[in-house]
Every structure is written in structure tokens, then in C-alpha cells.
Chains A and B, each alone.
Chain A
């Protein structure tokens, strides 16, 4: 079988990255480099209040004392933080009150990405905050949502319009001292989305943020803050893409979620940053801190992620289960192909009584990529009746890639039940041949098998995006099997 194996595995070519175009948009940017002055300039450009500048400066000073984390199963080249532009904005952007015209080039860019910025054209029932480089260029359905008392706006607008709310929650789930990249983000974050669902309101549409990196040599540092007050419900989705370039670009985001009593938040991500070419040149370095706090009783936070992009992914969407009977979920599909590296997983911190968590992680590795699951389940002393179920599966395409699982379990309460299951499998050439014999091409067979494998997670996505995610999985693995 050796010959066939070699043939099936050897022909590693890259699939097309559909979103690799660059838009020629006039931008306003500040010079490369990072200093207190740069932090002040960013804050000044946004006309921020003093407390927010102080927050940034504290974060920056703290960041200067930190070192790049090296514990992940990743080979991270040295990043020169002075060689990055920390603020770049389209010059002719939408005005703050949302009444201004959008630059047609920007509109065209988002049209091309399948994210129309006109409300009447948009997918029914999805509101979008579109972020390009350092700023939000348009938020749709703001008024419709406002009628239900829901605040959905760019982070910058929220700081101006709802400073008290932002101040009350910012940094409460991910403090600026949390880690190297969270500190960096806290110092230089430029925009992102803010969302507040008031008491008893079920958000009538999907909310989403679409992140686009366009400018060269620029880092994107966005911040998302999502608050679901008592009995509230919201489903939120983020998508991301970037142009193809030979240089790496840095993306370091922070997402904070707060769920009060009986609130529920579903947060879904389809991450498709440029992964680099098949020799491993270029691609986004994606260092993201995402965390949700189930503060209230019976609250629930659910993370679903489909990670196909980025040269390096470092990301652990987590839940702090503080309220009694609260629950956290993490459903993940992470695909790595060619030279991509991913170290991703979750942390479930059980603090309250009868808290529940579910982890389903599906790693798919192809090419010469490395794919690691890293997860912590921690049950604190008072978390009586805590319950966790973890399932971590790895699927390998070929024999030059790697799949790794690093589960950490710390239990301080005798009544807790923690389960962990793990499997590793390969797509067999006999499976592919079986499909071939029924008239299905190898490419389609891989798509079929991979989607079958990831189905449990894909099913958790909102319907419109599940279809997209399925296609994306197939495209990401195109050419990974001969």
C-alpha cells in the first residue's frame, strides 16, 4: 500500500484563498512603532475620556514588563512590535452618527466579501458591524435594534454614547494584566463592537461583526464587549478575512462576555484570516483572548468556532462559571493545512454549584501543519455538583502533520464529575476509494468526510453560516489529498 499512500499524501498543493484581494482605499495611518505617545495618539483620535486613556496607559506600562508567552506548542518567529502600524483607518469613513456616506470602495470591499452594508440587501435577520483595519465603518440595523432597547454599535461610538456601561464592564472579564496580548490590546485597541441586551430581551436577530484587515504592515487590535442582562438572549457571530501578503500581520483581539441571571449568549466565530501560502510565507498571527463570565445563576455562554485561517492561532475561548447552575460550552473545529500552526482550546472554570461545561473539539490537520488542543477544566472547592464532559478528536490527512492534545484537569471538589474522551483517526485511502467508486471525486470525498467529522460542531452554528462553514472546510483542505 506504500505507493498509494505516498501518492495520496504527497500531492500537497494549496487551495485558493478567496478573500486575498486588497482594496485600494485611501487610509490615514500613524507611523510605525509603539510608545506611550502612540497610545495617546490613538486615544486622542477617538476623542476618548480621561478614564479610558488611563486604562490604556496602565495597560501599556504593564505590557512593557511582560514577555511574549512561549508555552504554547507553536514556533513563533520574533515579532518586532516597533515595526507595526497601530492605527490605520479609511480616510473617507462613515461619520460617527451613522448618517454619512460610506466610501464606495469600502462598500465594494464588503460586497465582495459577501457582507452587503445596506440593510435592505442584507441577509434577513442579521445585523452587522463592519470593521476595517482600526475602525468600524458601518453598523447596520442599529435603529431597529434600539427599538428593542438593544445597544449594538462600534466600540468607539459606545464609549461616546454609553460611557457608563462601557466603564462598568470593560476589563472585568479580561483584565489588562491577564496576559501579554491582552495587555497589548488594552493599550492600543482601536475599535470593535459593543453590545448590550437589556433585561428580559431576546435579541430578534443575529448580531455579527465582520473584521477585515486591508492595510499593509498594520496590526488589528479590536475589542468586543457583550453584555446580556438578566433573562436576555443573544446570538453573535464574527467573521474575519485579510489580503494575501508575504509579510505576517498581527491580530490581537480581546472579547469579553458577561451573562447575568438566566441570560444566554451564543458566540460563534468563523475565522478565515489569510493562512499564508503553501510554503508558509505570510499569513496572520492570531493571538486572541476570549472569555465569558457566567455571572448570574442559570446563565449560559456557548462558544462555537470554526478556525480555518491564520498562520498561527493562539486562542482559548473560556467560561468562568460563577453563578450557580450556570453552564459553558465550547464547540470547535480547527483546521490546519500546509504550514499553519494552531494551539487552541478552552478553559472552563467551575466556581458556582452545579455548574456544567461541555467541550467538543475537532482538530483536522493536513500538509505539514501542527494542530494542538489545549484545555483546562478547573473545579474550585465550592463548586459542588460540577459536571464536565470533554471530547477531543483529531483527524489527520497524511503523515507529515501533527495533532496534539494537552488536557489539564484540576478538581478541588469531591462531588464533581469530569469526563474526558479523545480519539485520533486518519482519513483512510479506502474511504476515499469507496467514494471514488461511487462517482465522487477525491476532493469532494475529503469534503464529505471532513464535514461529516465536524458535523457536531457545524450544527451549532446559525443556519446561514453553517453552509458557509461547510464550504470553507472543504476549500481549506483543497489539494491536501492527492
Chain B
């Protein structure tokens, strides 16, 4: 699904990612953990195609294709979804209109006819139920005036609408109370299929109580310094990032 090979990324000439390699197969859930400033969000941004970060070296293959050859909207239409850490407000544009445009672009990409208004509204209803999102949100402008929790739930709702192959969730748990966290995690779990993959980027282990990863990576100072099974998250929570820091510095 996704093969990252020796990825070096700089922002304003300063290296942020320093040789990341990562292989995500279909059906897998990967967690990327790490302290602030380790490069987690930069990685997410590069995958989605945000161009403030400069790729210095390395390659990324997505579904066998060179990811850097694909425009951000094409990545989306090919099934790459980014759940934003800070979802953007778009005043005046209703969620219905926004999602209808997005869904129909995805359908057109697959050679399908646009959905009729009634089919689209039915799809929205179904997905809202699935992710337990308040149906009033759908009638408001995109993220405008949403609380932090509502914005995150709205990201999962959009994910449900677009049914991605590869979902990258960038600190989706930050700013969520425990109920919202459960709803978001349940949504992600319900959307999981054997042929889809998820990358969960997070600070804390608590989200991983609900979304159980197959593989956990620890990102520190632009490098993946540790990769192991789900028990690594627990160990990390108990020992803190200090432990990683010491280990890295020793070697």
C-alpha cells in the first residue's frame, strides 16, 4: 500500500525528517508516536501533498505509484485520506455542498455518475449514524463554529463518506474528551476493511486502547528509532519519551 524509502524532508532549509523508511501493507494499522517536534505532522503533510515541506531525498510509493507524481486532489481520489490535526473552517460553504462536491469528484474519478440529491442525502444519513455525528453539523458551514471535538468527529465523518484505502489520522485524539475519543475510535474501527490501512499519529497511548495497532513506530528527531508491536505503546506510556531519548543518545 505505502512504501516510504529513506525520506529526507526539510522546511526552510532545516531537515525535519532524516531518512524515514516505512512499509504499510493492506489491512495493517500503524501507530506513529513521538514527542512534540519529532516530525510526525510533517510526515502527514508530505503524504497528503502539502508543499511547504521540501522533499530532499527519498521516495514514496503509494499503490505502486510514485506519490510525488500525484497532485493532492489526485491522492485523495486514489484513496489517501488525511484527518487534519487542525481542521480548517470554510465560512459560507455548507457541509452538504462540500461533501457532495468531494464525493462526486471521487465518483467521477472512478468513472461513476454523480449521485442524485436523494441518494447523496441518504448516504450522508447512513454515515452520520455510523460515526454518531450530530446531524445538525451537516447543515452548518464546514467546521465553522464547531467545537474541537465536533471538528474531529467531522473528520471521521468525512472519512466515512470518502471510504479511503489509506487513512492518516494526525493527532485525531488531541483535544477530545473520553466520550468523543471513544466515538472517533469506534468510527475508525467500523470503517476498517481487510483491504484498507490506517496510520494513527498520536502523542498518547490512550487512543491506541481503542484503535489497536499492529505495529508501533517511535519517531524521534526526524528518525524512526524504534519499531515493535502494540506493547511498545504501553511501554512508552509507562516510561515516557525520556526513555527513548536516553536510549537514542546512548547509542
Contact = CB atoms under 8 A, between A and B. Distances in A.
A431 interface: yes
A440 B101 contact: yes
A436 B73 contact: yes
Scoring B48, B72, B89 by chain A CB atoms within 10 A of each residue's CB, the highest score goes to B72
Contacts of A454: 92
Given A1-B52, A4-B52, A444-B101, A438 B90 contact: no
A439 B162 contact: yes
B243 interface: no
Nearest to A448: B93
Interface string A424-459: 000010110111111111101000110111110000
A108 interface: no
Contacts of B48: 433, 437
B229 interface: no
A448 B97 contact: yes
Given A449-B90, A449-B92, A439 B50 contact: no
A453 B142 CA distance: 12
A160 interface: no
Interface stretch (B58-66, B102-110, B126-134, B199-207): B102-110
A438 B158 contact: yes
Contacts of B84: 434, 437
A168 interface: no
A436 B141 contact: no
B157 to A, nearest CB: 12
A439 B106 contact: yes
Contact of A438 (B89, B94, B98): B98
Contact of B76 (A1, A436, A442, A453): A436
A7 B51 contact: yes
B93 A439 contact: no
A442 B74 CA distance: 11
Contacts of A436: 49, 71-73, 76
Interface string B66-79: 00000111011100
B52 A452 contact: no
Nearest to B76: A439
Contacts, number: 82
A441 B92 contact: no
B98 A437 contact: no
Given A440-B101, A441-B73, A431 B90 contact: yes
B241 to A, nearest CB: 29
Contact of B72 (A1, A428, A437): A437
A300 B205 CA distance: 63
A3 interface: yes
A444 B52 CA distance: 22
Contacts of B93: 448-449, 451-452
Nearest to A7: B51
Contact of B91 (A441, A442, A452): A452
Contacts of B99: 438
Contacts of B87: 434
Contact of A439 (B88, B91, B94, B105): B105
Contact of B102 (A433, A439, A453): A439
Contact of B90 (A1, A3, A444, A452): A452
Scoring B49, B84, B90, B142 by chain A CB atoms within 10 A of each residue's CB, the highest score goes to B90
A451 B94 CA distance: 11
Contact of A453 (B81, B92, B105): B92
Nearest to B98: A448
A437 B88 CA distance: 11
B7 interface: no
B88 A428 contact: yes
Scoring A437, A454, A455 by chain B CB atoms within 10 A of each residue's CB, the highest score goes to A437
Scoring A434, A449, A451, A454 by chain B CB atoms within 10 A of each residue's CB, the highest score goes to A434
B33 interface: no
The 3 closest A-B pairs by CB, nearest first: A452-B92, A452-B93, A436-B72
Given A431-B89, A440-B105, A452-B93, 11 more contacts: A1-B52, A3-B52, A4-B52, A433-B50, A434-B142, A435-B98, A435-B102, A436-B49, A437-B73, A438-B158, A440-B101
11 contacts: A1-B52, A434-B84, A435-B90, A436-B73, A437-B76, A437-B81, A439-B106, A444-B105, A448-B97, A452-B91, A452-B92
Interface of B: 48-52, 71-73, 75-77, 81-82, 84, 87-94, 97-99, 101-102, 105-106, 109, 141-142, 158, 162
